[in-house]
Structure 1
Amino acid sequence: MSSLVRPRDNRWIAGVCSGLARRFGISPGMMRLIFVISCLLPGPQFVIYIVLWVLMPDESKAHSYR
């Protein structure tokens, strides 16, 4: 598994779904579908997305710290 970062490629909005998909070894499209379906259910999914957007480092910045 790779580290949890927002990749620079294959982004739509912030790269959160793409980063999660890369981390868990599934396609970004599948992760986006899971997210959209989960938004139909009651709960804090959108808030979690925003929090991950803020907390997950951008891939280019994460590699510069190493």
Structure 2
Amino acid sequence: MSLNKLRRVKEGKKIAGVCQGLSEFLGIDASYIRLGFVLLAFLPPIPFFGMVIIYAVLAAVIPEDEGYIDV
């Protein structure tokens, strides 16, 4: 059993790697996370700029993955 840490990834990212990092942490496809962000951005409870702010905060708070070096 491996413990995944929540990290922003460098490989496979679209903007800042938040959705890709969340998908690896939760074990689901990144497309579902991205679709969820887009849907939440256009639903009435959370305006578009609210989701942009949430994404920016997540990008600032979640540390970036350093990567692994294979020797």
For residue 15 of structure 2, give the secondary structure of its aligned residue in structure 1. Answer: coil
- Scaled by the length of structure 1, what TM-score is found? 0.82
Pick the structure with more helix per residue. Answer: 1
The residue number in structure 2 matching 1:13 is: 15
CA distance in 2, matches of 1:35, 1:21: 12
Larger Rg: 2
Moved over 3 A (4+): none
Say which SS state the counterpart of residue 59 (structure 2) adopts: helix
Choose the corresponding residue for 1:26, options 15, 25, 28.
28
Ranges in structure 1 where 5+ consecutive residues have no aligned partner: none
Tell me what 1:50 maps to. Answer: 56
Aligned Cα root-mean-square deviation (Å): 1.7
Q: Percent identity?
A: 35
Shift of 1:2: 1.2
Residue correspondences, number? 62
- RCO (CA 8 Å, sep 6+): is it higher in 1 or 2? 1
TM-score when scaled to structure 2? 0.77
